[in-house]
């Protein structure tokens, strides 16, 4: 037994190292598509209040987060998932990748903005928009609705964030296919719409940073993406971009948060969860990053003009949300195999 004690001590030390940073703080690992600026802001703000916690975030696309959690299910590396459409969170919950947690503000969001078992709750409402480079495209000429993006004058000028990895693009593509079913009874018209978009697309861009750079440099002049990221891009970096809220309606996503099943530091995860969803934090997200809060108890006048305008002007695009959620994975696989680059450059 005496010989085993050094070995047990080493194993215990290894366990502590795995759960702590090099400086002895507890490591909280956050997976998120919210971008460097927002994540750094909350990292610094949280650590100022919780100095014993080291927030380490990994920024990746919404679908990439889900794929990574699936791959790590036997040995979870993340504690918290902060941001992605509710449709993707729902799939994660159904696969046992998220743990239930009822936040202190649970009654302050609509019934359709949280999971019935508490495995995710909505944080922001995220509308999808049509964005354009204002140096290359005038406000008058910018497409005002989804179908206008298919005009031949935009051939070779459309940049699209790689839809396989992007929750925003998956939502837009899913809404187009659901619209086709609602109007015609089949997806055929929707697939033709996506083929025509492919014909106008110059490039499927790997990540948001590259999309912003290429749009700013006029390597493409039109894109489809989410309103908060485009508005923040213009506000914080002065990139010459603007956006149009589509006239016929737009996918309005519930952006969510959830605790990873098997998290190494669930207590710190719950603290961060609560921290980024307080009224003060929601107001900061709205002011600094133009996020639209999902909470219904915020004072409207405390929100910036762009957020108030979006709340008033955005019309959710009609569509069978259950159909989209059940079909989207299969649709995206079909798009990737049969539509991607089928007409691009032709």
pLDDT bracket for residue 344 (50, 70, 90): confident
In angstroms, the CA 67 to CA 78 distance is: 13
Alpha-carbon 326 to chain mean position: 19
Percent of the chain with pLDDT over 70: 94
Domains parsed from the chain with CATH numbers: 4-125+254-304 (3.40.190.10), 126-252+315-338 (3.40.190.10)
pLDDT at 6 over 60: no
With the C-alpha atoms ordered 28, 29, 32, 37, is the resulting torsion angle positive or negative?
A: positive
Q: What is the pLDDT of residue 136?
A: 97
Mean pLDDT along residues 2-12: 41
Distance CA 203, CA 305 (A): 33
Residue with tokens 């918290």: 80
Please check the confidence at residue 18 and state whether its pLDDT lies above 50.
Answer: no
Average pLDDT for residues 277-288, to the nearest whole number? 95
Per-residue pLDDT tens over the stretch 68-124: 999 999 999 999 999 999 989 999 999 999 999 999 999 999 998 999 999 999 999
**Alpha carbon separation from 145 to 130, 148, 163, 220 (Å, rounded):** 8, 5, 19, 18
């Amino acid at each position: 037994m005496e010989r085993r004690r050094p070995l047990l001590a080493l194993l215990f030390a290894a366990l502590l190292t795995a759960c702590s940073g090099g400086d002895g703080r507890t490591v909280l690992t956050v997976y998120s598509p919210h971008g460097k600026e927002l994540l750094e802001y909350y990292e610094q703000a949280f650590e100022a209040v919780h100095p014993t916690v080291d927030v380490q975030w990994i920024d990746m696309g919404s679908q990439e987060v889900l794929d990574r959690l699936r791959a790590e299910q036997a040995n979870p590396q993340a504690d918290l998932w902060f941001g992605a459409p509710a449709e993707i969170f729902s799939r994660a919950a159904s696969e046992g990748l998220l743990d239930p947690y009822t936040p202190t503000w649970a009654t302050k969001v609509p019934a359709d903005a949280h999971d019935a078992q508490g495995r995710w709750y909505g944080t922001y409402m995220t509308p999808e928009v049509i964005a354009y480079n204002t140096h290359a495209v005038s406000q008058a000429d910018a497409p005002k609705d989804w179908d206008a993006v298919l005009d031949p004058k935009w051939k070779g000028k459309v940049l699209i964030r790689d839809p396989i990895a992007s929750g925003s693009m998956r939502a837009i593509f899913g809404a187009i296919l659901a619209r086709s079913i609602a109007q015609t009874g089949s997806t055929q018209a929707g697939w033709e719409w996506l083929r025509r978009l492919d014909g106008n697309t110059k490039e499927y861009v790997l990540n948001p940073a590259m999309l912003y750079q290429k749009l700013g440099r006029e390597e493409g002049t039109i894109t489809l993406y989410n309103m908060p990221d485009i508005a923040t891009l213009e506000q914080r970096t002065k990139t010459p971009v603007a956006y149009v809220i589509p006239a016929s309606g737009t996918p309005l996503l519930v952006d969510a948060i959830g605790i990873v099943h098997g998290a190494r530091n669930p207590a710190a995860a719950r603290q961060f969860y609560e921290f980024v969803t307080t009224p003060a934090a929601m107001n900061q997200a709205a002011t600094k990053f133009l996020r639209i809060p999902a909470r219904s108890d915020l004072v409207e006048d405390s929100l910036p003009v762009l957020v108030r305008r979006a709340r008033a002007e955005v019309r959710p695009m009609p569509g069978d949300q259950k159909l989209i959620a059940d079909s989207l994975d299969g649709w995206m696989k079909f798009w990737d195999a049969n539509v991607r680059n089928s007409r691009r450059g032709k």
